[in-house]
Amino acid sequence: MTNSTPQTEKALKRRKILIWILIAVVILGILVTAGYFVKKLIESNYYYCTRSAKFIPLAKSCDGNIDCFYGEDEVYCSTEFKANDTFPVRLISAERVLQVFNGKTWVTVCNDDWSTQHTETACKQLGYTKSRGKIIPTCPSFKLFSVTFAYTVLGLSPFLFSTNSSVCRTGSVVSLTCSDCGVGGNLERIVGGVDAHIEEYPWQVSLQNGGHRCGGSLVSSRWIVTAAHCFSGNKELSRWTVMSGETYLTTLGGSSVDKIIIHDQYDEASSDYDLAMMRLSSPISVGDKRKPVCLPPKDLLLPDKAPVVVSGWGLLRENGKISTTLQKANIEMIDRNTCSSIYATMLSQRMVCAGNLKGGVDSCQGDSGGPLVYLSASQWYLVGVVSWGDGCARENRPGVYSNVDNMLNWIYAAIEVLHANKGTSIFTGFNYISFFFYFFRKTHDVPP
């Protein structure tokens, strides 16, 4: 019988050490995994008050009542937003003609002395960073007014103001495109839908709170339009993330959110004014998989039975499972008289209908807040937001969508005000008018 050599003993020691290291790694992995699931379980039921080191039921956070010291449970929550004044700039008709509000009525902007700076200023007021303008011949129905500049405090942030002049030497009006928006894939023929690629509808996002909850639409590199009902009982900002640029549903990664604003007139019982907006903590990088959809110009007239597309990761059938692959479905707009005959007084002016009256094609629960888009002149416009319906894809039960055109003023006002709150002084509504006259008197020595 031979004795173990020193080399053999060293090998045995190394093996024992490796085994203990392996055991430690496995135990550590088990503890980390268990800790993760325990943390998720606690977070799904409780809110932790960091300053008072206590847990409160999740339902008590963001409920309007202070339950933690210093009210930390009510700080980072969704808020309502009220648009007090008429937003002073808008684009109208399919030609995207620029109009400004003079305090009493909307007036169309004449091309006289129009400059690139005017274009950039108007687009900034509409919440966009990119701008492109063109001149089109006037229509006899337009009453033309020229514009000039006024400036906010310290000479920052120029804004447009209409002068009371009907003289328009050029006889032309200004048409604006304020963003490289609405560029998606081809229109091809959810419940009754087919698989889609995110490059076709790059504005589509997934709003997640422990998993996919709703759809949404990028309208800029930082702003998302969705439905107000998505946040019923889920108002804490830190629990929401936004997944963008993905065809296949995933909960990994995502962008954090620093604002959720709900339309101040939203009524949960009737689903009226079912509109909300989310602001990402930082802008996304725009590319082939992430592009904003265009907000429609005011009074964009859709033809009868206009073809539209709804997309999302909703249920593949009523009471079925959520799709893991982005879905799209071709449907058509349904005129108000037909839809009113089905839903009667449940249908308000803030709602539009779309679908197939024969059934079989529709949006469904998981698509809530997602986009209903219309293709015009090679650009996609957000005309509706998935809101409610009677079941999914039932005969004579079309889907009901929040009417974006009807609430454009609220969308633009929300973007403007929250942008101003970040440090840029911007005036809206009648404040534009009063400040203009103040500025005019100061710079032209006109007595008050």
Q: Give the pLDDT score at 158.
A: 42
Core vs surface per residue 224-249: b (16+ CB within 10 A) or e: bbbbbbbbeebbbbebbbbbbbbbeb
89-178+412-444 belongs to CATH 3.10.450: no
Q: How far apart are CA 67 and CA 198, in angstroms?
A: 42
| Cα(98)–Cα(106) distance, integer angstroms | 10
Quote the Cα angle for 129-135-137, to 5°.
Answer: 145
In this prediction, residue 276 carries a pLDDT of 97
Q: What is the pLDDT of residue 298?
A: 82
Annotated catalytic residue within 118, 212, 229, 263: 229
Separation CA 218–CA 181 (nearest Å)? 10
Return d(Cα 397, Cα 243) in angstroms, integer: 31
194-403 CATH fold: Thrombin, subunit H (2.40.10)
Inter-CA distances, 339 with 36, 61, 354, Å: 48, 39, 9
Q: Is 229 in the active site?
A: yes
CA atoms in the 13 A half-sphere facing the CB of 187: 15
Instruction: Let me know if 368 is a catalytic residue.
Output: yes
pLDDT confidence of residue 252? 81
pLDDT of residue 199: 93
Domain spans of the chain, in order of start? 11-64, 89-178+412-444, 194-403
Measured CA to CA in angstroms, residue 108 lies from 90, 93, 98, 161, 437 at distances of 10, 12, 6, 11, 20
Cα separation of 129 and 371, whole Å? 22
Q: Quick one: pLDDT at residue 357?
A: 81
Block means of pLDDT (10 residues each) for the chain, 448 residues, are 68 86 93 83 76 79 81 79 74 79 78 78 72 55 46 36 58 75 60 79 94 93 95 87 93 89 94 96 91 88 89 74 86 92 92 84 70 91 91 80 94 75 35 32 33
pLDDT of residue 117: 79
Residues 236, 267: contact at Cβ < 8 Å?
A: no
Burial class of residue 53 in the structure, from the number of CB atoms within 10 Å of its CB (0-12 exposed, 13-18 middle, 19+ buried): exposed
Measured between alpha carbons, how far is 292 from 315 in angstroms, rounded to an integer?
25
Matching fold, domains 89-178+412-444 and 194-403: no
pLDDT at 173: 79
Instruction: Give the pLDDT score at 374.
Output: 95
DSSP letters spanning 87-144: -SEEEETTTTEEEEE-SSSEEEEB-TT--HHHHHHHHHHTT-S--EEEEEEPPTTPPE
Report residue 219: phi and psi, to 5°.
Answer: -115, -5
> Residues 220, 263, 271, 274: which is the catalytic one?
274
Quote the pTM value. Answer: 0.74
**Region for 155 from its dihedrals, namely left if φ exceeds 0, alpha if ψ lies in -120 to 50, beta otherwise:** left
Query: Which of 179, 255, 368, 387 is labelled catalytic?
Result: 368
Type and span of the H or E element at 22: helix 6-43
